Amino acid sequence: MNSSSDKFRAHSRPASRGEGAPSQAGARIAKVMARAGLCSRREAERWIADGRVAVNGEVLDSPACVVTDKDKVIVDGKQLGNAGAAKLWLYHKPPGLVTTHADPEGRPTVFQHLPASLGRVISIGRLDLNSEGLLLLTNAGTLAHLIEHPSLGWTRAYRVRAYGHLSQSAIDRLAKGVVFE
């Protein structure tokens, strides 16, 4: 990423208890670890199985653990930090980057082009390899879920530019939807 101002803009707000920050009532340990920016929830479960996580001096052997803000969580010998503010970034994805954290084909990813100082970031939605345009990124999985989930009814509008000549009949077929194998 060449310049932070031309590729993305950050917006933040205080973290709410519903976004993985432990509270008096508590949150599952994997969610708290993910929200702190260490890893995904699935990775957190693997770290727990590997014996890398302790709560109040006891090494966990199961992710079925609820922690509160009074618990002392240690990951790889270091105390888990606070989740901090939930942030939302607007990122202009150029063509040629894959919207995934790890591509099995070894292609460059959006996340490899972000500054390491952002910590763990997840995408809200995806853009294809050859697509370019606005991509929303966040450090809060709950926020991503709220924006992405179809049951919430957020309307999405897309503008598409096609190169070459399209007949009206081809446009009419595209308007009805296209299925690719």
Catalytic residues: 128
CA-based nearest residue to 110, from 87, 133, 86? 133
List, in order, residues 6 or more apart from 134 with CB less than 8 Å away: 90, 91, 92, 93
CA-based nearest residue to 66, from 20, 35, 16? 20
Residue 69's SS3 state is coil
Whole-number Å distance between alpha carbons of 132 and 116? 22
- Cβ neighbour number for residue 100 with a 10 Å cutoff: 14
Q: Which two tokens stand for residue 165?
A: 């000549």
Whole-number Å distance between alpha carbons of 77 and 52? 8
Q: Which two tokens stand for residue 113?
A: 């082009």
